[in-house]
Amino acid sequence: MPKMKKTLQMVTVSSLLLVLPLSACGSKDTATTGASVAPATTAGAKADPAKGTVDPSKLKPYEIVWYHDGGEVPDSDKVFEKVSEYTKQKINATVKFKMVNWGDYDSKMQTIIASGEKFDIAFTASWAANYRENALKGAFIPVDDLLQKYGQDLLKVLDKRFLEGTKVNGKNYAIPVQKEIAQQYVWRFNKNLVDKYKLDVTKVKSLEDMEPLLKSVKEGEKIAPLQASYDSNVFYIPYDYLLEQTIPIGVKLDTKDFKFVNVYETPEFQKAAETMHKYYQEGYILKDAATRKGGEDIKKSGKWLIDRQATVPGADNIWTKQYAMPIVSTPIEQPVVLNGSVSGAMHAISATSQDPERVMMFENLLNTDPYLQNLVSYGLEGTHYKKLDEHTIQDLPARSERYNMPLFGLGNRFITFLDKDDAKDKWDQYKKFNESSYKAPTLGFAFDPEPVKNELAAVRSAANEFNFALWTGSVDPKEFLPKAIDKYKAVGIDKIVNEAQKQFDAWKATQK
């Protein structure tokens, strides 16, 4: 995953689908019924519907194996010893946490799933350990009944739109992480240059609006002020994409007819492509933008003015700390709940789990018990952080060096500590952000690519040829765009559009 996308996921979500082949995880029927799961060790343990709890004395010991995407966390064994002490008291289970490096996670999980290795929890998303593909192919089991029996407390705190938007053929195959539910893109600005040139960023809503700002900074600083590159995409048009932005098939966010189109053929795409080419010719964009990686290095150097990012409440402060320079932003759009945003971070239960019921008990605890969630997220008090008050902590050096966890993927963020620099009402801001969002046209629709898998592979190949050249303005769209459209048609994009429409119409007819 490109560095830009990894960073973005730590703040919010992105939508990169990777197809993971599966060969040893059972049939679709097995996955639907759960029949392949080994006999559970929770026999005789009844949940108390009033309390959502179980009597641990009636449970046999069990070890929960949890795989997660991220970097090296040297102190994880030490922290999960404490986690296991606590979960053993609560549900007679210990937890073995296995972190896999960012770039290796998809291939590692593909191997594990194909081998039939026993594990219990996998971090999954629209962009990691492909949620929908693995659900359809039987790697993950349905969790709906488990949530009703052993996740009552979790259901009370989880925004229902997370479950609505992550159904696959009417069933949920993972527990979404409670965090921001919506995606909202913003134009992000280097405030040092904003202040120096007295720029009004509040009026920048579109690509066209930014031209006077780019001109001022280009003339004054002799830099390419618009950060458009392979891993810093500023190209924006308001579409709800079928799979991801790299596959140009989608529905307008404000659609009235719910029709899928080849986005390359829309007037919105043509206008944006022409604007980007104009900016490229004016020198507002680096000449090697279409192939350049490492946009983060330029941002940290301060030699830029504008880029595009997905935001969350307090993101300007996060970015300011990240780049060691003041960052301000202005919204491009209203927050929108997309299939990609609701599936940006989830925990799936493996079809090889020997006790899915116990795993759900753990998920219920992880998402509702502040002590457990903060222990997993921040480590040991006095070692990795110190408390400033009941709800606020300050990192100690050992946290960044030895226990720097990917917080966005660990469970309910709304019950975690505040950092000393966080707003006191941070989680209230998140809740208001979620409440202000609207549903995308295809929320909850799970496209099955199997009928057009060959065409989809060919379109993905063509996308690599055309997308970045057009997105960065490196080519003249009047000449290049017709060639791209012809190529897409030749490799079967219209067949995918028609199949998507057929599946969507059938799905929509079943919705209330």
Q: Which amino acid is at 30?
A: T
- What letter does residue 503 receive in the DSSP assignment? H
Question: How much of the chain, in percent, has pLDDT values that exceed 90?
Answer: 75
- In whole angstroms, how far apart are CA 35 and each of 149, 170, 255, 359? 18, 18, 41, 17
CA atoms within a 13 Å half-sphere pointing along the CA-CB vector of 415? 21
- What CA dihedral angle connects 252, 255, 257 and 262, to 10 degrees? -10
CA-to-CA distance for 171 and 159, rounded, in angstroms?
17
CA-to-CA distance for 190 and 289, rounded, in angstroms?
19
Contact (CB, 8 A) for 423 and 417: no
Q: Do domains 42-179+341-439 and 185-238+273-337 have the same CATH topology?
A: yes
Kindly give, in sequence order, each residue whose CB lies less than 8 Å from that of residue 108, ignoring residues fewer than 6 positions away. Answer: 67, 100
- The partner residues of 187 in beta bridges, in order of sequence, read 308, 330
Please say if the pLDDT value at position 14 is more than 60.
Answer: no
> For position 49, what pLDDT does the model report?
37
Q: How confident is the model at residue 126 (pLDDT cuts 50, 70, 90)?
A: confident
- Residue ranges per structural domain of the chain: 42-179+341-439, 185-238+273-337
Please say if the pLDDT value at position 22 is more than 50.
Answer: no
> 33-37, 124-128, 230-234, 436-440: which range is least confident on average?
33-37
The three-state DSSP-derived secondary structure of 1-65 is CCHHHHHHHHHCCCCCCCCCCCCCCCCHHHHHHCCCCCCCCCCCCCCECCCCECCHHHCCCEEEE
Please say if the pLDDT value at position 25 is more than 70.
Answer: no
Structure tokens that stand for 209 in this block: 């609006």
Class of domain 42-179+341-439: alpha beta
* Residue 504 host element (H or E): helix 493-508
Superfamily of domain 185-238+273-337: Periplasmic binding protein-like II (3.40.190.10)
Using alpha carbons, select from 418, 423, 424, 443 the residue that is nearest to residue 182.
443
Q: How confident is the model at residue 237 (pLDDT cuts 50, 70, 90)?
A: very high
Mean pLDDT of 266-295: 92
Spell out the long-range contacts of 213-216 with Cβ–Cβ below 8 A and sequence spacing 24 or more: 213/305, 213/306, 214/279, 214/282, 214/284, 214/305, 214/306, 215/282, 215/284
* Residue 157 host element (H or E): helix 152-157
Please say if the pLDDT value at position 7 is more than 90.
Answer: no
Mean pLDDT of 35-40: 32
Mean pLDDT of 164-183: 93
Burial 223-245 (b: 16+ CB within 10 A, else e): bbbbbbbbbbbbbbbebbbbbbb
Mean pLDDT, the chain, rounded, equals: 88
- The partner residues of 323 in beta bridges, in order of sequence, read none
Kindly give, in sequence order, each residue whose CB lies less than 8 Å from that of residue 146, ignoring residues fewer than 6 positions away. Answer: 349, 356, 357, 360
Using alpha carbons, select from 262, 154, 287 the residue that is nearest to residue 495.
262
User: Residue 481, SS3?
Assistant: helix
> For position 24, what pLDDT does the model report?
29
How many Å separate Cα 157 from the centre of its chain?
A: 20
